[in-house]
Structure 1
Amino acid sequence: MNDREVADYLLAHPDFFVEHAELLATIKLGNPHGKAAVSLQERQMEMLREKNKHLELRLAELLRYGHENDGIAARFVRWTSQVVAERDPHALPRTIAGQLRAEFDVPLAALRVWDVADAYAQADFAKHTGEEVRLFANSLDVPYCGANTGFEAAQWLAAAPGAEGEEQPTQSVAIVALRRRANDEEADPSGDAFGLIVLGSPDPRRFHDGMATDFLRQIGTLASAALSRLLPH
């Protein structure tokens, strides 16, 4: 019999060592932590300890993620309450961006909307945006997170409230499209965008292409609903 046949036989007869328990004491295995041989029972215990260690590390990691998500959810609720409480349409864009900076510890945040109602056409948040920005906004099915590769929208951050004294260049950005609501539940991901939220940081890893975007999508949905009052009806 070769090694494979022996292994197959033992797998097919799991009671073999129960019926031949005396063999267990004679089987010696290499110790992964030294040169001395150990018994099968000792090796099994070592394997179980290693497995438990990995499970404990995984559990600790899951608990950490859970605590982080709880913290993000709490900040999202606080941000939402500030947005909902803002009664002045002119101040709403500033509130949305300012509270994103405050609640999520984002160094820079700005937003622009276009095709607004005449009453808001001269506001800072409605400044002219180029056609490339609008095309880019319409192409964002999900928020963009990653390096700032010279996005025109990232230039808004330099003029955003709270940017005074910011000397380091914006290395990473998160860009979220604002879209008209297609129904009573959420913004239409295929509809025309009417604005962008831009978050920026001098840390190149603050926003990266591997990060989850669930909360950013929720921020975009709620901000879109709130800012829709600035559009012509």
Structure 2
Amino acid sequence: MAPISADDVICYLEENPGFFIEHPDSLRQSGLLTQDSTSAKVLNLRNKLFDRLKGEREDLIRLLDETIEIVRQNEQIEKDFIAIEQLLFEQSPSLASLTEIVKNIESRFGIEYAGFLLLDPIDGIPVIAPKSDESSRIRPLGKLEEKLVPMDGGVVLQGKLEGGGGPLFPDALSENIQSTAVVSLEIREKRIGFLVLGSKDPERYQEGMATHLLRRLAMRLALGISIFQRFNNGKTAQSSL
């Protein structure tokens, strides 16, 4: 085996500047960081090493910034969930409060539409005046909508829609909707309806995305609607006595 020359070592280190990053003690012992080394090859190696270290530092700072941003986003999401839950359980159940909740979902999550499609008959829900604010957000599930929602439960996500949101959304908004999420609302294994979300961002909701936050939101909303239905049924029973 031929002996390894100093040039061979320098050539290897030029091609593998990460060696010194993984072995910092060897970097200190090499004297590469001192100003006494004036060989052109050594200077070139030093510059490559500094460039590599600079790149590693920039990558680390970028990763740290991304991590901090994710933490901030998660904190804001948690605050949004708490605010919505407060609306659910700290107000008297009413159509107005349910409408306020979906409007709150729109504003907090930056989407164009949030509403409920509730199974028919809608126990405890009084007749909603046509063309009212509530009528566009709290609707009975019709035959046409049944074909577009997950009747067997779960979540359906669609993105990059070219023809709008379709009959799941009010006519005035449908053509602007480019991605949708439809989440089953269930309480004690009984399906009571669906949460319908729509965004003009074509990539806001896409098939294959994580759905745990949507499921969590749907679970809390289903509980709130169930309480609302029981509240209205109780009032109806009292008035019939």
| Distance (Å, rounded) in 2 between the aligned partners of 1:17 and 1:203 | 50
| Distance (Å, rounded) in 1 between the aligned partners of 2:28 and 2:80 | 57
Structure with the larger RCO, 1 or 2 (CA within 8 Å, 6+ apart): 1
* Aligned partners of 1:120 and 1:126 also within 8 Å: no
**In the alignment, does 2:55 pair up with 1:50?**
yes
* Aligned partners of 2:187 and 2:219 also within 8 Å: no
Selected match of 2:67 from 51, 57, 62 = 62
After superposing the two structures, state which structure 1 stretch, 86-95 or 54-63, moved more.
86-95
Change beyond 3 A, Cα 1:220–1:101: same
Change beyond 3 A, Cα 1:149–1:139: farther
| Distance (Å, rounded) in 1 between the aligned partners of 2:102 and 2:151 | 21
Q: How many residues align?
A: 204
Aligned partner of 1:179: which letter? E
Instruction: Give per-residue Cα distances to partners, 1:84-107, cap 9 Å, x unaligned.
Output: 123124445323322212322322
The alpha carbon displacement at 1:56 in A equals 0.8
| Distance (Å, rounded) in 2 between the aligned partners of 1:17 and 1:50 | 17
**2:167 aligned residue:** 155
Aligned partner of 2:61: which letter? E
| Distance (Å, rounded) in 2 between the aligned partners of 1:193 and 1:67 | 34
**1:94 aligned residue:** 99
Aligned partner of 2:167: which letter? Q
* Aligned partners of 2:144 and 2:167 also within 8 Å: no
**In the alignment, does 2:223 pair up with 1:218?**
no
Q: Which SS does the other structure have where 1:76 is aligned?
A: helix
| Distance (Å, rounded) in 1 between the aligned partners of 2:226 and 2:26 | 72
* Aligned partners of 1:170 and 1:200 also within 8 Å: yes
* Aligned partners of 1:92 and 1:227 also within 8 Å: no
The alpha carbon displacement at 1:108 in A equals 1.4
Within 5 A, what are the aligned runs for 1:13-52?
28=41, 38-52=43-57
Q: CA RMSD in A?
A: 4.0
Change beyond 3 A, Cα 1:19–1:45: closer
Q: Which SS does the other structure have where 2:57 is aligned?
A: helix
Aligned partner of 1:43: which letter? K
Within 5 A, what are the aligned runs for 1:131-146?
133=146, 136-142=149-155, 144-146=157-159
**1:188 aligned residue:** none
**1:33 aligned residue:** none
The alpha carbon displacement at 1:222 in A equals 0.4
| Distance (Å, rounded) in 1 between the aligned partners of 2:141 and 2:200 | 26
Q: Which SS does the other structure have where 2:80 is aligned?
A: helix
Change beyond 3 A, Cα 1:71–1:128: closer
Q: TM-score, normalised by structure 2?
A: 0.64
* Max Rg structure: 2
After superposing the two structures, state which structure 1 stretch, 118-127 or 219-228, moved more.
118-127
Q: Which SS does the other structure have where 1:197 is aligned?
A: strand
The alpha carbon displacement at 1:40 in A equals 2.9
* Aligned partners of 1:154 and 1:198 also within 8 Å: no
| Distance (Å, rounded) in 1 between the aligned partners of 2:139 and 2:52 | 63
| Distance (Å, rounded) in 2 between the aligned partners of 1:107 and 1:200 | 6
Instruction: Give per-residue Cα distances to partners, 1:60-109, cap 9 Å, x unaligned.
Output: 11112222222222222212211112312444532332221232232212
Aligned partner of 2:205: which letter? F
Aligned partner of 2:57: which letter? N
Selected match of 1:180 from 187, 190, 206 = 187
Q: Which SS does the other structure have where 1:137 is aligned?
A: coil
